[in-house]
Amino acid sequence: MSKQDLLIAALTTLQPQHLEVQDESHMHSRGTETHYKAVIVSEQFSGLSPVRRHQKAYAAVGALMEQIHALALHTYTPQEWAGQGAAPASPTCHGGSKFDH
């Protein structure tokens, strides 16, 4: 099972109405299965600050975070998602890692 599949399985515990997990490793210099973007729409985020939402998502992912370098989280309530409908595009990597030559 890929890390992307594992992330999807872990994040479904948040009972999302919408869930996207994208492998964005190709945009970075750290190899494969290292950078991910998750868009999570869940009623469980209602009344929570952005920090609390991220903490909830990281708790769902658990030890899997030790196997990846980065997870960009975009967390929305269903009402917020209805008004927005899309997460922002990910920025281009500017390098700077020990893997750059």
pLDDT tens-digit series, residues 33-44: 778 999 999 999
Instruction: Compute φ and ψ for 26, nearest 5 degrees.
Output: -65, -15
Q: Looking at residue 81, what is its pLDDT?
A: 95
CATH architecture classification, 3-83: 2-Layer Sandwich (3.30)
| Cα–Cα separations (whole angstroms), residue 26 to 34, 85, 92 | 9, 25, 11
Q: How far apart are CA 76 and CA 91, in angstroms?
A: 20
The residue with greater pLDDT, 89 or 99, is 89
pLDDT (tens digit per residue) in 3-18: 999 999 999 999 999 9
Q: With 0.75 as the threshold, say if the pTM is over it.
A: yes
Instruction: Compute φ and ψ for 24, nearest 5 degrees.
Output: -105, 20
Whether the pLDDT of residue 60 is over 80: the answer is yes
Assess contact for 32 and 39: CB atoms under 8 A.
Answer: no
